[in-house]
Structures are given as C-alpha cells and as structure tokens.
Amino acid sequence: MSAHAEKAERFLALHRGGEPLLMPNAWDRGSAVLLASLGFPAVATTSSGFAATLGRLDGQVDADEMLRHAAELAAATDVPVSADLENGYAADPAGVAATIDRAIDAGLAGCSIEDYAGLADDAIYDIGQATERVAAAVDAAHRGPVHLVVTARAENHIHGRDDLDDTIARLQAYQQAGADVLYAPGIVGLDDVRRLVSAVDRPVNVLALPGGPSVAELGAAGVARISVGGAFAFAALGGLVEAARELLDQGTYGYWARTEIGRAAVRRAFGAQGV
C-alpha cells in the first residue's frame, strides 16, 4: 500500500471510533503544521479561511487555486488532509469527477462536495442532480488504489432553507450514492442532530457552532466527526484586528502579553530556535 493510500485508509478509520474525530480547519501551510503538532489526527481546509488569505470572500477561489492550496497542506504534514472543494467547481457530474481526479493527484485523503450551486434562481441543486454529482464524485474517488474519503454536504441550513426533512432525504440519497461521510452544516439543535444521525447509516460530521452541543453531547448522539469551518481562521484574524486597533487607537503594546503562546507553539511545531 502506498503512503497516500494508507493515509486515506487511516482517515476513514478515524470515523469509526467511540468518540468524534475532532478535525480542525487550517487556512495555510503553517496553520496545518501547527494544528497537527498539537495532536489533531486529521486536518481539513476551509474555503472561507483560505479565501481570506488571498484578500477575498468565500466562493471567490477557483479550482486551480484551491487544489494547489490543498496539495500544499497535504504535503506539509503526515496527518490526513481533507479539502473543502465547495460544489466540485462544476455543475455536471463529469466535471465533478474531474475535480476529484485532481484531488487525488493532490495527495488528499478526503474531500467534501456540497449541493450549493450558487445560482441566483435556485441556490441548491435539485436532489436528483445533486445525487448524480455525489455518485460521480464517489466513482472517481473509489475506483483507484486510493480510497479518497468523500463527504457529501447538504447545504440547506446555511442558505436559508431550514427544512430538516429535505436535508435528511438528501443525505439518505447521498448515502445510497456511496458517500463515505455525511454533513449538513448549520444544524445546531441536539434533537435535530440525533434525528439526522439516526436516519442514516454513514458517519456524520457536525459543524461546531456557538450555542451548539458540546463535543461530549455530540459524541453521545452518535456524531462521528466535528469540524470548525472557518472559525479558527477568523479567530486568528480577530486577534490581529484587536492588536492592530490597540496600536492604532491607543498607542500601547498590550498585545505582546498574548504572543508567547503562539511563539512557543511555533517553535515546537516548526523547529525554530530563534525569535
């Protein structure tokens, strides 16, 4: 078995334990290395966090840029990396499959494909087209020596469609299409999470959100994986804004008191000896 195939197999196995896989989302090479050094067994990309590093908003990164970024993160650390590939950068199933082929070439262990089309008239693909797209992604991901772990995402709840019945129907269809993991970002209530988990037979990922259930509660509900989306990236940017506002508005340097945690972690993770 190649190192790449082993990493993908290890990633899938991480979804079968007795407690949720905590998978943080890195936004650049340094954050991926740092998060892995802290003990996380897998890392994901974040489309919004990466877009911010380019001075853009989520959805403004093209396939070439995202796949180069994902390949850089996959090569940076020994832990499996799963990439947020948005809608596969294609509406048609063949285009999605071509993106998956490129994801495998990038050295990824997994990826996610969402059913958000981004079209003004209907933001979510109809369930038939969405399922065909997942099936094409799965076929491309599983036909070779590397079993790329496909996470199928139902985007209803972060795009103003709070229809849990439709979300569950979609995830059940994506399960039948062969998806390895199922994900409906934006679901917060513990009862809704329990209902979703009990309705499918695949590992379920939940996005950690303010006011949502704790890791322990999600684990007890049967959740297999918890991710953070762009939260870590924007928390880091929030620290930058606070430090910058202090310098600009107050002319003081109190932010230095908060730097040692980061500096020490960077020294350990990157092997640096100096300042």
Residue 11 located in a structural domain = yes
pLDDT in tens, 26-46: 999 999 999 999 999 999 999
Asked if 158 and 169 count as a contact pair (C-beta separation under 8 A), the reply is no
Residue 260 covered by a domain: no
In the predicted model, residues of the chain with pLDDT beneath 70 are 120-122, 272-275
If one counts the domains in the chain, the total is 1
Q: Please, what's the b/e burial string for 50-67 (b: 16 or more CB within 10 A of its CB; e: otherwise)?
A: bbbeeeeebeebebeebb
Q: Is residue 159 part of a domain?
A: yes
Could you tell me which of 78, 79, 98 has the C-alpha nearest to residue 88?
98
Is residue 248 in a domain?
Answer: no
Q: What is the pLDDT, as a whole number, of residue 273? A: 44
What's the predicted TM-score (pTM) here?
0.96
The answer to whether 226 and 22 have CB atoms below 8 angstroms apart is yes
Predicted pLDDT at 122: 67
Instruction: Indicate whether 240 belongs to any domain.
Output: no
Per-residue confidence (pLDDT) for residue 16, from 0 to 100: 85
pLDDT at 244: 98
What are the residues whose beta carbons fall under 8 Å from the beta carbon of 22, sequence distance 6 or more? 40, 215, 225, 226
Q: Domain span at residue 54?
A: 3-228
175-186 burial, b at 16+ Cβ within 10 Å, e below that, comes to bebbbbbbbbbb
Q: CATH code at 34?
A: 3.20.20.60
**Domain presence at residue 271:** no
pLDDT of residue 275: 42
The answer to the question of residue 255 being in a domain is no
Is there a domain that residue 20 lies in?
yes
